């Protein structure tokens, strides 16, 4: 029988920032790159004939270290893609909960009955992935061994079908950790058996469940643009708290701050945004400018989370909002000051920031996937 190690991709921006980046080419986090190295070590000494991946950057990078070490190409197959999330794509999960409450309840409780506009069903994605895996099995032959990188919903839907279970039982298969591994045996007639599934024993505890502490309605924040003058008082309260947290001395100039905010939002209506957790105001973010920065680079000026929620990863969701706005505004890089708060330090540690040439006070992050250095094959 052909053996296929079916692997979930490494941690990416959507996982860390709680966004539905199913088909968006999201960035890989620093944890994701660590997971990839652990995966490479796991397969040390295991024979591999071929490596396959969906066309997403996060999937390709998951097996890039193994491909380089073995001098094997990564064969890209769109049949390994994630489920399609329709109009939810690249939205914050918190916003989806607020704006599509009934559809989101279906997703959480009855995902086999997916009703988001434009989305595919779990049965459709299961059929697609299993078709792709059977095709890979034919390509490598009955004695072949392959790695195939796909995505969480696609994998659990395919495992459900492969084990002869109705799709109504798909929730029992859970979400495997990023880079978790399932081993499938496929015979010449396309029959599939599963040796094990969702195994992440290669990951140390700090890299396991890297995102799960941020999953669910209790932690998914909705993020909406600030609207002035209606929300002036809310903005000033958060801005003053942020000013004090950063060590500001002397009185906070509310009038000057509000005037500056009004001018910013007149030109860029989404550049100041509030975060909400179950309708409670939890923080804000602000995108700004520095004339010394390249025109292609946006400045994430502020990420502030209220004290009782600090240190729990919520700031990443505001970072996700900023990255989204900058990309859709035509910017290709995001800058942030080095002299930042602990919440912003967590963002800088989670993504691959670099020092900016000629601007030592800033860190810079490319907002689009970098060049893939391993050999790809269609």
Instruction: Give the tens place of pLDDT for each residue, 38-91.
Output: 999 999 999 999 999 999 999 999 999 999 999 999 999 999 999 999 999 999
**pLDDT for residue 62:** 98
Q: Tell me how far apart the alpha carbons of residues 349 and 319 are, in angstroms, rounded to a whole number.
A: 12
**pLDDT for residue 228:** 97
- Looking at 77-81, 240-244, 262-266, 366-370, which range is the least confident one? 366-370
Residue 218 has pLDDT above 90, yes or no: no
- Mean of the per-residue pLDDT values of the chain: 94
The percent of residues above 70 in pLDDT, for the chain, comes to 97
Q: Domain 222-366 classified CATH 3.40.630.30?
A: yes
Q: Tell me how far apart the alpha carbons of residues 124 and 86 are, in angstroms, rounded to a whole number.
A: 14
Q: Tell me how far apart the alpha carbons of residues 15 and 19 are, in angstroms, rounded to a whole number.
A: 7
Q: Which CATH architecture has domain 2-214?
A: 3-Layer(aba) Sandwich (3.40)
The average pLDDT across 201-217 equals: 71
Q: How far is CA 156 from CA 159, 160, 176, 187, 229, in A?
A: 5, 6, 8, 21, 47
The average pLDDT across 240-244 equals: 96
User: Model-level pTM?
Assistant: 0.94
The DSSP secondary-structure symbol of 92 reads B
Beta strand 333-337 with 297-305 is parallel
Q: Which of 133, 145, 132, 149 is nearest to 8 (CA)?
A: 149
C-alpha atoms less than 13 angstroms from C-alpha of 277 in its C-beta half-sphere: 19
Q: Is 240 exposed, middle or buried (0-12, 13-18, 19+ CB in 10 A)?
A: middle
Residue 114 has pLDDT above 60, yes or no: yes
The DSSP secondary-structure symbol of 223 reads E
Residue 213 has pLDDT above 50, yes or no: no
**Does residue 19 contact residue 93 with C-beta atoms inside 8 Å?**
yes
Residue 355 has pLDDT above 90, yes or no: yes
Q: Is 204 exposed, middle or buried (0-12, 13-18, 19+ CB in 10 A)?
A: exposed
The average pLDDT across 167-194 equals: 95
**Alpha-helical segments (H) within 141-202:** 152-162
Q: Residue 226: which residues within 8 A CB-CB, separation 6 or more?
A: 234, 235, 261, 265, 272, 273, 274, 284
Residue 105 has pLDDT above 80, yes or no: yes
Tens of pLDDT along 120-173? Answer: 999 999 999 999 999 999 999 999 999 999 999 999 999 999 999 999 999 999
**Does residue 335 contact residue 324 with C-beta atoms inside 8 Å?**
no
Residue 22 has pLDDT above 70, yes or no: yes
The average pLDDT across 224-243 equals: 98
| Per-residue tokens: 256 | 């000057």
Strand (E) or helix (H) holding 261: helix 254-267
The average pLDDT across 357-367 equals: 95
Q: Tell me how far apart the alpha carbons of residues 71 and 81 are, in angstroms, rounded to a whole number.
A: 24
More confident residue, 268 or 114: 268
More confident residue, 113 or 233: 233
Q: Tell me how far apart the alpha carbons of residues 76 and 142 are, in angstroms, rounded to a whole number.
A: 21
**Does residue 102 contact residue 117 with C-beta atoms inside 8 Å?**
no
The DSSP secondary-structure symbol of 49 reads S
Beta strand 181-186 with 222-225 is unpaired
Residue 212 has pLDDT above 60, yes or no: no
Core vs surface per residue 296-309: b (16+ CB within 10 A) or e: ebbbbbbbbbbeeb
Residue 210 has pLDDT above 60, yes or no: no
Local confidence band at 24 (pLDDT 50, 70, 90 cut-offs): confident
**Does residue 271 contact residue 334 with C-beta atoms inside 8 Å?**
no
The full set of domain ranges for the chain reads 2-214, 222-366
């Amino acid at each position: 029988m052909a053996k296929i190690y079916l692997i979930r991709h490494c941690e990416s921006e959507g996982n860390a920032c709680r966004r539905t980046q199913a088909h968006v080419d999201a960035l890989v986090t620093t944890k994701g790159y660590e997971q990839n190295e652990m995966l490479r070590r796991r397969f040390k000494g295991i024979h591999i004939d071929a490596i396959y991946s969906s066309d997403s950057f996060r999937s390709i990078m998951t097996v890039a270290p193994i491909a380089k070490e073995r001098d094997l190409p990564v064969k890209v197959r769109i049949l390994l893609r994630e489920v399609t999330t329709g109009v939810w794509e690249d939205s914050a999960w918190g916003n989806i909960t607020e704006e599509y409450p009934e559809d989101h309840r279906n997703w959480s409780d009855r995902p086999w009955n997916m009703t988001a506009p434009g989305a595919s069903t779990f049965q459709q994605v299961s059929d697609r992935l299993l078709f792709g895996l059977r095709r890979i099995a034919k390509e490598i032959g009955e004695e072949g061994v392959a790695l195939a990188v796909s995505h969480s919903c696609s994998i659990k839907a395919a495992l459900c079908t492969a084990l002869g279970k109705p799709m109504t039982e798909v929730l029992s298969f859970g979400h495997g950790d990023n880079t978790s591994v399932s081993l499938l045996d496929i015979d010449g007639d396309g029959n599939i058996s599963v040796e094990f599934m969702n195994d992440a024993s290669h990951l140390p505890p700090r890299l396991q469940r890297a995102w799960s502490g941020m999953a669910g309605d209790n932690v998914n924040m909705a993020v909406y643009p600030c609207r002035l003058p209606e929300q002036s008082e809310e903005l000033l309260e958060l801005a003053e708290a942020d000013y004090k947290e950063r060590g500001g001395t002397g009185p906070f100039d509310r009038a000057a701050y509000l005037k500056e905010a009004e001018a910013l939002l007149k030109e860029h209506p989404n550049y100041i945004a509030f975060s909400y957790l179950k309708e409670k105001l939890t923080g804000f973010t602000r995108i700004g400018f520095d004339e010394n920065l390249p025109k292609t680079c946006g400045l994430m000026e502020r990420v502030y989370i209220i004290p009782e929620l600090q240190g729990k990863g919520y700031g990443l969701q505001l970072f996700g909002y900023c990255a989204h706005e900058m990309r859709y505004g035509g910017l290709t890089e995001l800058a942030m000051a080095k002299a930042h708060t602990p919440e912003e330090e967590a963002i800088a540690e989670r993504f691959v920031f670099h020092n900016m040439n000629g601007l030592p006070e800033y860190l810079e992050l490319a907002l689009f996937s970098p060049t893939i250095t391993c050999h790809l094959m269609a």
